[in-house]
Amino acid sequence: MRGVTRVTICNLVKKYGVPRYGAGKISLAEATRILNDNQQPNKQRMGQSSTDDPEDKAPAYNTSRAKREHYNALKAEAEYEKLVGNLVSRKAVEDAAAQLGNHLSNRIRDFSSSIADALAREKDPRKIKSMIDERLFEYINETADQLRKL
């Protein structure tokens, strides 16, 4: 009965007075009814349902199944994207970004020393601005070229 031991059943028979029939056997339907009748107030106090209605379990099962199917679909989509080459490893992207960042940082640090002499000789502010812009665009284009190579 309900996956309980023989000792537990004997104790329930004594406690709730479940009638015995020939050779000490009990009626499962009658024992279940008596148990439900006697345990109903306790279950209601604890906020539990007194019946094992399959429809009470259905929403939780259906929700869990829907979630599982959703994540299986996402997994299949990710595997497909990786197969066709639309996904790359995170480590490769992080390494490439770090390399590009280091290159750009080095170029910015070298900017003042690479252009200082030329700027010191120049007196015309428009020419100085033009020289600075030219060097910055050179660095930007160089960085863009490296980015395309990744």
Residue 76: per-residue pLDDT: 93
CB contact at 8 A, 118 and 131: yes
Q: Where are the domains of the chain?
A: 6-52, 54-87, 90-149
**CA 148 from chain center: how many Å?**
32
Residue 40, Cβ neighbours under 10 Å: how many?
A: 14
Residue 45: per-residue pLDDT: 46
Q: What is the pLDDT of residues 51-74, one digit of tens each?
A: 555 555 556 788 888 899 999 999
pTM of the model: 0.41
Q: What is the pLDDT along the chain (150 residues), one digit of tens a residue?
A: 566 677 777 777 777 777 777 777 777 777 777 777 776 554 444 444 545 555 555 567 888 888 999 999 999 998 898 888 888 888 988 898 898 888 888 888 888 888 888 888 888 889 989 999 998 898 888 888 888 887
